[in-house]
Amino acid sequence: MDEVLKTIFSFLSQFGTVYYENSIPIGAKKPYLTYGFNLNEWDSTSLLTVNIYSQSTSFNEVTGIADRILKEVGFGKILPMSNKTYCVLYKGSPAMQIIGTDDLNFKQAYLTFSVMVEKA
């Protein structure tokens, strides 16, 4: 599983600063992304959630980052790993959801993906 986490971290890093969920340092500068999984085993499809956080009065930054990630994933994004193994990201449903907050200067959205680990 460590290799899957590193592979997904590497992919998401092209869109901004990334932290594994629950490991965000105090004072982390926004925008940043977090990611986490709902399942611990990789013998089937797992759910990946990516949260995008922004310090802004507008959703433009959050939706811009989300749009870039979703465009890159397209209809399936193959992420190579070692030993002829790869993981494939597929957009979940809903692919993106805005999260409302009481703070007008804080914006958040999350993306969902199905992740499959396959051997070539």
The angle subtended at Cα 4 by Cα 116 and Cα 119, nearest 5°, is 50
pLDDT in tens, 26-63: 999 999 999 998 655 556 688 999 999 999 999 999 99
Tell which residue, 98, 87, 77, 102, has the closest CA to residue 37. 87
What per-residue confidence (pLDDT) applies to 41?
Answer: 58
Burial 23-55 (b: 16+ CB within 10 A, else e): eeeeeeebbbbbbebeeeebeeebebbbbbbbe
β partners of residue 91: 113
Alpha-carbon span 41 to 39, nearest angstrom:
6
Alpha-carbon span 49 to 61, nearest angstrom:
18
Q: What confidence tier does 110 reach under pLDDT thresholds 50, 70, 90?
A: very high
- pTM for the model: 0.91
Residue 66's H or E segment, with its range, is: helix 60-73
pLDDT in tens, 63-107: 999 999 999 999 999 999 988 889 999 999 999 999 988 899 999
